[in-house]
Amino acid sequence: MTKTWLITGASSGLGRLMAEQLLARGDRVAATARRTNKMAELQAQYPETLIIEHLDVTDTASTRATVQHLFSSMGSIDVVVSNAGYGLFGAGEEVTDDQIKHQITTNLIGSIQLIRAVLPYLREQGGGRIVQVSSEGGQIAYPNFSLYHSTKWGIEGFVESVAQEVAPFGIDFIIAEPGPTGTNFAANLVRPPLMEVYENTPAGEVRRAVDSGSFDIKGDAARTVEAMIAAADREKPALRLTLGSTAYESISNALTRRLAELTSQRDIALSADSD
């Protein structure tokens, strides 16, 4: 059965690959991007089934207007993929105020406002599915990615809450959590001026690993997208979709440690109750 998809951040990376795979199988795609010229070739290949709209998710008014236009022009949209975002790559003390604001406005507020914008239309049409592209970094944390992690942990909390709110309307969510994957993510990292004091710390170690290419990237981008599409095609997918062996192992280890720490504090936790 042919589906209609809305994908943000579709000019590159996982968003672009997803649009290509969906169009190749015959689905309709509404693709948004800040640099729409990068999609001209794909538009020429699929003139009947691809709609491209300019969208900067940091502009909430534009997000609402674009969503309204796309639902109106396409009739209905089965799956909304919130994919737009980038990484701020620096220690928490190094990043600038403006960089913090832009990271949160793009990754967190932009995703929240996209979801808020599409919910009335999904309710009106009787349901739908939202795929929020997060990261293993929504469950674990690397040094030197503190602000990026803050947005991914934040959007996962928002989605988990909203998923409960809108389930009665036939709307559900998938939180996709890829591990390190072979896309252009690293090339697009935004970096603050470095502080020498962090050179011989875990933050510096991660920087050197990324810059030297020794940071292990096991995830295959095409296979990652295939798994995301397959999950979105299922009747009742799990809320969280972990993608790649690195993500599976790192999240599993983090949850195991967290549970052990919680269990060890049981008596302290219960002591805080009132009599």
Along the 275 residues of the chain, how does pLDDT read in single tens digits? 899 999 999 999 999 999 999 999 999 999 999 999 999 999 999 999 999 999 999 999 999 999 999 999 999 999 999 999 999 999 999 999 999 999 999 999 999 999 999 999 999 999 999 999 999 999 999 999 999 999 999 999 999 999 999 999 999 999 999 988 877 777 788 999 999 999 999 999 999 998 888 777 888 999 999 999 999 999 999 999 999 999 999 999 999 999 999 999 999 999 999 98
Residues 6 or more apart from 271 whose CB is under 8 A from it?
A: none
CB atoms within 10 A of CB 143: 16
Q: In sequence order, which residues have a C-beta less than 8 Å from that of residue 83 and are 6 or more positions away?
A: 7, 8, 9, 10, 13, 14, 15, 18, 131, 133
Active site residue 152: yes
274 is catalytic: no
CATH number of 4-270: 3.40.50.720
Catalytic position from the list 134, 135, 146, 250:
134
Residue at token pair 């990324």:
210
Contact status, residue 163 vs residue 122, Cβ threshold 8 Å: no
Determine which one of 111, 150, 152, 198 is catalytic.
152
Catalytic residue among 46, 121, 142, 148: 148
In the residue annotation, 248 being an active-site residue is answered as: no
